[in-house]
C-alpha cells in the first residue's frame, strides 16, 4: 500500500512498558507493529525495549519498518532504551517525550497500558480538543480493557463537564489490520 497520498504516514503507539499476563496483549502489539511496517507507516514509540513497547517495535523492525523511538534519558531507575536498529531520539523528560511523539506523528494508537499510557492518551485527546494538533486516536484491544475509560468519557459528556466533540477524533477496534483505515477516516472527518 502506497502512503504517498495518505493522511497517515506516521503513527504514535502508546502502550505498557511491561508484559501483561493477558495472553493476547503481546500478540496484538506484534500484529500492530507488523501491520504498520507492511504498509510503510513509520512507528513512533516510547523508545523502550521493555514490555509491549519492545514487542511492537521489534515486530515493525522485523518487517523492515521505519521505527522512531523517543526516550526520556535519565528518567527511569534502570536504562530500558531500545538498542535495535531504530532512530532513537533522546529527550530530557516525559513531557518532552510526549510532545516529540505528537510532533512526529499524524495519528495515534493506544494498546493496553498503565498510568503512562493513560497520561499519553489523555494529553493527546486534550491537545486535539484544544486545537493544538489534529491527531486522531484508535484504542486497540481484544477484550474490555478500554471499557471503563470510554464509560468515564461518556459520563463526563453526559454531566456536561466534557464537550462531546471528543467522539469525532477517537475510535476503538480489536483488529490491528483495521487501524489505518479507521485513522484515515477520522483524519478526513477532522479536516
Closest CA to 3 of 191, 150, 184, 161: 184
Confidence at residue 5, expressed as pLDDT on a 0 to 100 scale: 64
| Dihedral-angle region of residue 77 (phi above 0 means left; psi in -120 to 50 means alpha; beta otherwise) | alpha
Confidence at residue 175, expressed as pLDDT on a 0 to 100 scale: 96
Confidence at residue 19, expressed as pLDDT on a 0 to 100 scale: 82
Summarised one tens digit per residue, pLDDT across range 138-177 is 999 998 999 999 999 999 999 999 888 888 899 999 999 9
**Domain range summary for the chain, segments of one domain joined by +:** 10-145+168-173
- Can you name the residues that pair with 173 across neighbouring β-strands? 140
Q: Annotate 96-111 with b (16+ C-beta within 10 A) or e (fewer).
A: ebbbbbbebbbbbbbb
Supply angle C-alpha 46, 112, 44, rounded to 5.
25
Crossing angle for the helix pair 179-190 and 24-38, to the nearest 10 degrees: 70
**Mean pLDDT, rounded, of the chain:** 91
Return the CATH number of the domain spanning residue range 10-145+168-173.
Answer: 3.40.50.450
Confidence at residue 163, expressed as pLDDT on a 0 to 100 scale: 87
pTM value surpassing 0.85:
yes
Q: Are the beta carbons of 91 and 70 closer than 8 angstroms?
A: yes
Confidence at residue 1, expressed as pLDDT on a 0 to 100 scale: 45
- pLDDT < 70 regions, the chain: 1-5, 20-22, 75-79, 81
Amino acid at each position: 500500500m502506497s502512503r504517498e497520498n495518505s493522511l497517515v504516514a506516521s503513527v504514535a503507539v502508546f502502550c505498557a512498558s511491561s508484559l501483561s499476563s493477558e495472553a493476547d496483549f503481546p500478540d496484538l502489539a506484534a500484529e500492530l507493529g507488523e501491520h504498520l511496517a507492511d504498509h510503510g507507516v513509520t512507528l513512533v514509540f516510547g523508545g523502550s525495549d521493555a514490555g509491549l513497547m519492545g514487542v511492537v517495535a521489534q515486530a515493525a523492525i522485523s518487517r523492515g519498518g521505519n521505527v522512531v523511538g523517543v526516550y526520556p534519558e535519565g528518567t527511569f531507575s534502570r536504562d530500558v532504551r531500545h538498542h535495535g536498529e531504530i532512530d532513537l531520539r533522546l529527550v530530557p523528560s516525559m513531557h518532552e517525550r510526549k510532545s516529540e511523539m505528537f510532533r512526529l506523528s499524524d495519528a495515534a494508537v493506544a494498546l493496553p497500558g498503565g498510568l503512562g499510557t493513560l497520561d499519553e492518551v489523555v494529553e493527546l485527546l486534550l491537545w486535539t480538543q484544544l486545537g493544538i494538533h489534529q491527531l486522531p486516536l484508535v484504542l486497540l484491544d481484544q477484550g474490555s480493557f478500554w471499557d471503563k475509560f470510554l464509560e468515564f468519557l461518556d459520563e463526563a459528556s453526559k454531566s456536561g463537564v466534557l464537550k462531546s466533540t471528543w467522539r469525532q477524533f477517537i475510535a476503538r477496534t480489536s483488529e490491528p489490520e483495521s487501524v489505518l483505515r479507521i485513522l484515515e477516516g477520522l483524519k478526513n472527518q477532522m479536516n
